[in-house]
Structure 1
Amino acid sequence: MSTVDLLSELRWRGLIHQCTDEAALAKLLEQPQTIYIGFDPTATSLHVGGLMQLMMLRRFQKAGHRPIALVGGATGMIGDPSGKSEERNLLTAEQLQANVDGVAAQMRAFLDFEGPQAALLLNNFDWMKDFSYLDFLRDVGKNFPVGGMMGKESVRSRLDSEAGLSYTEFSYMLLQAYDFVQLAKQYDCKIQAGGSDQWGNITAGIDLGRRMLGQPLVGITAPLLLTSDGKKMGKTERGAIWLDPQRTSPYAFYQYWRNVDDADVMRCIAYLTEIDREEYDTLAQQTADDPGRRAAQQRLAEWMTQFVHGDDGLQSALRASKMLFGGEIDALSDDELGEIFEDVPSSEVDRTSLEGDGLWVVEAFQTAGLTTSNGDARRTIKEGGAYVNNRRVADADVRLKADDLASESVMVLRKGKRKYALLRFR
């Protein structure tokens, strides 16, 4: 992909929100360049907002440039005030290291660390750890005019808020700006990218590079991943959508994208995937012509789940999704079943009822609240409308035992096509 093609790709995807000098950027990209994005390790996993930034690095790498994914082992000790209404809780050294390790491992799955433009995974703690406070003030701080710092939106908004802004957070901008200088010196990195909330930090780094190195640097930001009504995307009632399958299962991850609003789905495809323009236009037309088909959401969910969780993760998500529509249920964990059937009523039953002769299926349906009496349960079974783990019950005299559990302790009962209930055996 040429420089023109890369910038054109970023434009049609809507990924250029701000650029300090587009002409200078285009000129730089005529030759292979090094570009970096910083990631603060606030958790052991990235969420979908971080994935958007990784995809930006990936796009540059596929166009022949070298990406640097910079993990903020030093800046993470402070916390970026940009876009925050109050100060973050400071992490212990142990928490921070665990977060750095977790985030770094995820980055390796999305960037090429061995090809001709091999990505670099760096930690800014490596060059900040030996700085004394006095040395930093003398070498770096003297190059920061306070008036310029006070003019940054991230600073102004916090100064006007109830929470205010601590000196610790105020110093964050100096640390991130110095990252750009360090990477320019050591790796000839002339381009920094990030989300639009990083504009102030990025321009501070460019200004510091001019003062300390006499070198012109370039910054580019992408829009934040927001819904059409301005809310941060990747949030649910149950919390953030993480890349770590232990935090957000492939099924929950898949379902999130499958249920994206029509007003947001094409923007998600543009920002987060590598689906090309031709297919994008086809999906946009299908969404406009027949929104009920949800073709774009289906494609987005499948692409994202396969990209993040691989073929096995996608197949697991598809299999779990089919269970809601009658697919046989087995070989799942309690947690997985809980996610799939999170809105389904459940009842607790003594596990000893599965011993000996077992639990009478008629009694099970009554306990689950799916039938009102023995007669109602028998009629449901006789008419072919009773299911255990989506397998039809043909005999009202069936006794349920531990082998009939769908997971460690859960059994899924269904009446008719869509009426589900869970029995949890404790």
Structure 2
Amino acid sequence: MAPTPKSDFLRIIMERGFLADCTDLTALDDALIDGPVTAYIGYDATAASLHVGHLLNIMLLRWFQKTGNRPITLMGGGTTKVGDPSFRSDERPLLGPDQIQSNIDNIQKVFARYLDYGDGKAMMLNNAEWLDGLNYLDFLRDIGRHFSINRMLSFESVKSRLDREQSLSFLEFNYMILQAYDFLEQYRRYDCRLQMGGSDQWGNIVNGVDLTRRILDREVWGLTTPLLTTSDGRKMGKSQGGAIWLNGDMLSAYEFWQFWRNTTDADVGRFLKLYTELPVDECDRLGALQGSEINEGKIRLANEVTTLLHGAEAAASAEATAREVFEQGGAGGDLEIVTIAADALPVSIIQLLSQTGITGSGKEAKRLIAEGGLRLNNDPVSDPQVQVDAGIIGDGLKVSVGKKKHRMVQIG
């Protein structure tokens, strides 16, 4: 097909860096022109919140709706009982039905920030609706016979696990069949013709495309997004302090804002295209800023992403707090940034004070702590034996002495 697709959806996602692969890009482009098209992305309820690693595909659904199509967010009430083995080294812990439902209830809250579910514009489904009532023998006869074990073993998500001689249970092996059946069932019920997901789901998606064609003789498509890492090699969605959750009761809007504010310089332009709706030219301009000016891009990124998830007021509040705490050093004063290598951790609080230059000696540091003059993230420290590790530093640890002496410790 031509380098620039005809449909708005494909043109936008290709410009912004969302596209990894597609089963038939030309046919999908034609269908989108004739549109609207219904597409889905599935989310298993393995935790009480999704994290930043899921945000790329949530934005993909948002663009899909903004270009006149109908997105489905499919909750994995059924498939979570099995657990996706894709690129995992071991089996997921099995969750009970009450925990799965509780997780789904929490996860659903986030999608309302990104998609319009009014008047059927977007749909929220749960695959337990059709998976829980399956008759095993009928399912094997009607669906299982369309799957080749030889082909299933060749998929990289399975092959990599077996090559490492790590156990793959029969339960997990069924996952890709159930996901394929999800696609078939949604086509039957809602004329859903496109499944999207991360590139680690390519094998599962292709299975669903093939199954729908075999049973119903209908053309459907699969589309994947790249699996993102930061420029320094870290997996998106993780930080030194743990997962960057999307639910506000698991991670505050301020901490979420700080995660984006701490984006590596090299990632600013790319992340602006993927996680905001700013024009591509503006994303490129902000991403190309050099030196201290790149902070303009980072603050814009943090504000835009936080506004989408938590609202404009929360974003403005986070920025104001950050300016007070970090840029102005609290009640006046300056803030210096100090980087510590990850392999140098943990360190004692005494060593940390020395390395940051905030005290001149260990003796001074102990006296400072004894007199109550030291604060970490504004909390007083009274124990000179405290060990500071990556979890404590997280995305940034503010070390303060008095009102005007501050250091921001980051892992580099």
Could you tell me the TM-score, scaled by structure 2's length? 0.79
Q: Which residue does the alignment assign to 2:402?
A: 415
Per-residue deviation at 1:89? 0.7
Of residues 55, 62, 71, the one that matches 1:67 is 71
Q: Which residue does the alignment assign to 1:300?
A: 301
Of residues 174, 193, 196, the one that matches 1:171 is 174
Matched ranges for 1:150-299 at <5 A: 150-286=153-289, 289-290=290-291, 293-299=294-300
Q: Secondary structure at the match of 1:38?
A: strand
Alignment pair present for 1:313 and 2:300: no
Q: Secondary structure at the match of 1:163?
A: coil
Of residues 23, 26, 40, the one that matches 1:23 is 26
The 2-side partners of 1:35 and 1:416 are apart by: 54
Alignment pair present for 1:105 and 2:105: no
Per-residue deviation at 1:45? 0.9
Unaligned runs of 5+ in 1: 330-342, 347-362, 371-388, 391-411, 421-426
Alignment pair present for 1:86 and 2:73: no
Q: 1:367 to 1:62 in 2, by over 3 A?
A: same
Per-residue deviation at 1:186? 0.6
Q: 1:262 to 1:126 in 2, by over 3 A?
A: same
Matched ranges for 1:348-363 at <5 A: none
Per-residue deviation at 1:212? 1.0
Per-residue deviation at 1:240? 0.4
Q: 1:28 to 1:416 in 2, by over 3 A?
A: same
Alignment pair present for 1:323 and 2:334: no
Per-residue deviation at 1:110? 1.3
Of residues 19, 39, 44, the one that matches 1:40 is 44
Matched ranges for 1:367-378 at <5 A: 367-369=371-373
Equivalent position amino acid for 1:298 in 2: I
Per-residue deviation at 1:365? 8.5
Q: Deviations over 1:84-135 (max 9, x none)?
A: 12111111111111111111222122110115x6100000000111112112
Equivalent position amino acid for 1:221 in 2: T
Q: 1:294 to 1:315 in 2, by over 3 A?
A: closer
Greater shift in the superposed pair: 209-218 or 317-326: 317-326
The 2-side partners of 1:232 and 1:199 are apart by: 19
Equivalent position amino acid for 1:323 in 2: V
Per-residue deviation at 1:176? 0.2
Q: Which residue does the alignment assign to 2:127?
A: 124
Q: Deviations over 1:324-376 (max 9, x none)?
A: 324469xxxxxxxxxxxxx9979xxxxxxxxxxxxxxxx99862145xxxxxx
Per-residue deviation at 1:55? 0.9
**Larger Rg belongs to:** 1
The 1-side partners of 2:251 and 2:42 are apart by: 23
Per-residue deviation at 1:416? 5.0
Q: 1:214 to 1:365 in 2, by over 3 A?
A: closer
Q: Which residue does the alignment assign to 1:352?
A: none
Q: 1:344 to 1:60 in 2, by over 3 A?
A: farther
Q: Secondary structure at the match of 1:69?
A: strand
Is 1:3–1:63's contact at 8 Å kept on the other side of the alignment?
no
Q: Secondary structure at the match of 1:68?
A: strand
Equivalent position amino acid for 1:25 in 2: L
Q: Secondary structure at the match of 1:182?
A: helix
Q: 1:149 to 1:293 in 2, by over 3 A?
A: closer
Q: Secondary structure at the match of 1:35?
A: strand
The 1-side partners of 2:369 and 2:204 are apart by: 60
The 2-side partners of 1:263 and 1:413 are apart by: 29
